[in-house]
Amino acid sequence: MESVNELLDSEVGELITLSSIQMLEDYKEMEVDFIIEDIRRYKEPNDSFSYMGYVLQCSRNEELKYMLLIRQVGDVSDQILFYLQFEGTVREARSIVITEDGEDLKSRFSTSLMDAAENELEIVWDRIGNGSFHGVSVRTVTESFEKTIAGYFTDDVCGDNPHGMLEWAGDLEDGWCEFWTGHEISFQEVKVYNESR
């Protein structure tokens, strides 16, 4: 991919190819095709940021869900390839990721992740930046809603995925949480076909 604009022109149902060492570890091949399942547009109320998240599905392993997140400020952008580590109700996740008063996402929490050798690792995640972003508008192809999101980082040994992103939508009764972990990738690791398969 020559520039981020190629990906920004993509639509749901179109094909992209990821080419990296991580694909070799996940699928035993360097290049793997994915279908864009959904596109999420994240917008912070004060315009501090605007992200584009491309939710990807691979027919070879439907249990693995990915999101290619484009963070762009002016002419500068970076890409993080995230893996969905957890999704579930706030009731399931509350004690782990939400503060005791139920008002915010925790500044530090831990999760158990499996490494390449199937060993279970306890990973500590620290919130980065200025804390959580409340009231983030998320627009997909089919719906719009608000979320609280926060970025995290870990110095623990967790393979090549030191970045984390936690998303919380809804309330403490019927809300939904997702936790993604990932790593930065370059433009050269993404091929965009702009055609449906």
Give me the pLDDT at residue 55, please: 94
Look at residue 1 in the predicted model and tell me its pLDDT: 46
Query: pTM (2 decimals)?
Result: 0.87
Give 10-residue mean pLDDT values along the chain (197 residues): 64 85 75 90 84 88 86 78 91 91 94 75 88 92 93 80 92 92 82 63
Q: What is the pLDDT of residue 159?
A: 60
Distances (CA, A) of 144 to 39, 103, 111, 141: 12, 22, 29, 8
Token pair, residue 161, equals 């995925």
Domain that holds residue 46: 4-196
Length of the chain as a residue count: 197
- 129 — phi, psi (to 5°)? 70, -145
Number of folded domains that form the chain:
1
